[in-house]
Amino acid sequence: MGLGDIPVLVEAGGLTGSAPAVLREIVALLERLTQFGEAGSIDLHGLPLSPADRRWLLDQLGKGEVEIALQAGGGSRFIETAVPGVWWVAHDNEQGVRISEFIEVTRIPDLIPAHPDDVANGLKILKSRLPDLS
Amino acid sequence: MSEKSGLLIDSLERQGVSRRTFLKYCATLASLMALPPAAGRAFAEALAKATRPSVIWLSFQECTGCTESLTRSYTPTLESLIFDSISLDYHHTLQAAAGTAAEAAREAAMKLNWGKYLLVVDGSVPMKDGGVYSTIAGISNHDMLMDTVKGAAAVIAVGTCAAFGGLPKAQPNPTGAVAISDLVKDKPVVNISGCPPIPVVMTGVLAHFLAFGALPELDKLGRPLAFYGETIHDRCYRRPFYDQGKFAKTFDDEGARQGWCLFELGCKGPVTYNSCATVKWNDGTSFPIESGHGCLGCSEPDFWDAGGFYRALSLPANPLHVAATAVELGAVVGVGVALANRARKSAARAGHESATLADLEK
């Protein structure tokens, strides 16, 4: 029997008024990104958003063209919303449990580009596989 | 031990932990510690450059539940990233060495890392009768603590026994148990209370110390504010029922089935500061209230002597009907309950029979 089978009901609750505040923060972060090139993010974990708030926020942002799946210590999804530069980022652990969630306002999320040290390491490894290059 | 030292990121790489996994872990940890999201990156950079710290772990009057919680949580854990990366130079429950060899390891680690090692303590310290009630290698807990703390950078008191005295200090406190902070006055002491404490709280404090060289902000009881800043009640998913005045009266009534508030069944959530309701337990599965049982208040001082796990704290405040009459009624009910409790206590005392060891073996 899973937790879902235990008949404990939680009233869903409607809009709490938090979601428009988050949307305003996204606008402010986007302005900073366009004017100064500075990236920003909002940590959704600590925000008291009801399921209705989240749905409202997702509806307002829409779904864009890019969706990136990452496998590093569990799955992560980076979904660009219909507002370019605004990403919905969700990290799961290796058991598939959600461990953190952010809205990132950036051209490309931090975790995606390869780190220069890792690229250099990769080059070294590849060269070692071709003895005439090393 | 010393030869294992090096940069944290190198140690993680040797274990096959990728940079992205590490960055993701740091972003999550920063989120759990309520640091600004941008701090996740700074956290990761600082943590990657940190050297592996030497940790000396002393276990005194305790049940080993804290060590179990921290080392045997789900596998593999994010916490294990940090735990595998410290140089645990002495932990008499986990180490293979025993007796003289074990004590020699503690002394060697102290000498080698003087002024820099972290001292983790679980369990309280018995002070009665010269501390004879708990000794290790013939050394009393008090003497070992005071000797080992001299060269420590900071002390982390893990679990309610170390933080506040816990179960050994419960009335009548036969061993004269005291908390670590009662004895250590000249070093920073962080209390990570809970019976047991939540594993990520421990790693959060360790990671903060490694990354920023300082302990995180603490509350008035010496606990990290990021994890003990709000009560269980503040973040409880059953809170709307409390606000509506819907309470389960027994563990199997209709209210309990509907998931109503457990306040009247003795839940100590309103006076207990911890993050069980948000971080949860067992791989984020649930926390006690989600399993249908009230909070015992295990991260608060003297929770064993707080008047009974199934006795309600007081009359709940009803936000819709707070009136003078309700306050008066509360006072009357309070006096009535106090009289009934006193009568019950007298009857119990009168009916009490001493049990001998022979009785228990019958």
- Total beta-carbon pairs less than 8 A apart between chain A and chain B: 78
Residues B164, B191: Cα–Cα separation, whole Å: 8
B197 CA to centre of own chain: 3
Other beta carbons within 10 angstroms of residue B351's beta carbon come to 7
Virtual torsion, Cα B234, B239, B243, B244, nearest 10 deg: 180
**Residues in chain B within 8 Å Cβ distance of A94:** 76
Summarised one tens digit per residue, pLDDT across range B297-330 is: 999 999 999 888 998 886 444 333 333 333 344 4
Virtual torsion, Cα B126, B132, B135, B140, nearest 10 deg: 70
H-helix segments, chain B: 8-14, 19-32, 39-49, 65-71, 78-83, 99-112, 141-149, 159-164, 180-183, 199-212, 225-228, 239-243, 254-257, 276-279, 324-350, 357-361
Comparing CB atoms, the residue among A11, A46, A74 nearest residue B240 is A11
Query: Are B78 and A6 inside 8 Å of each other by CB?
Result: no
Query: CB–CB of B294/B261 below 8 Å?
Result: no
Encoding tokens for residue B105? 């390891």
| Predicted ipTM of the assembly | 0.81
Comparing CB atoms, the residue among B24, B257, B258 nearest residue A73 is B24
- B173 three-class SS: coil
Continuous segment of H or E residues that includes residue B157: strand B152-158
Comparing CB atoms, the residue among B17, B28, B259 nearest residue A8 is B259
Share of chain A above pLDDT 70, in %: 87
B19 close to A (CB below 8 A): yes
Report pLDDT for B80. Answer: 65
Summarised one tens digit per residue, pLDDT across range B18-67 is: 888 888 888 888 887 777 766 777 778 887 777 777 889 999 999 999 88
Q: Is the link from the previous residue into B196 a cis peptide, with omega within 30 of 0?
A: yes
Query: Are B28 and A41 inside 8 Å of each other by CB?
Result: no
Continuous segment of H or E residues that includes residue A122: helix A116-128
Summarised one tens digit per residue, pLDDT across range A24-76 is: 999 999 999 999 999 988 888 767 677 788 899 999 999 999 999 999 888 99
Report pLDDT for B361. Answer: 41
Substitution target in A32, A38, A43, A87 with the highest count of B β-carbons within 10 Å is A43
Residues B290, A6: Cα–Cα separation, whole Å: 10
- B62 three-class SS: coil
The C-alpha of B96 sits at a distance from chain A's nearest C-alpha, in angstroms, of: 30
Q: Report B:40-79 residues touching A (Cβ under 8 A).
A: 41, 74, 76, 78
Residues B69, A75: Cα–Cα separation, whole Å: 25
Summarised one tens digit per residue, pLDDT across range B60-111 is: 999 999 888 877 655 445 566 666 667 777 887 777 788 888 888 899 999 9
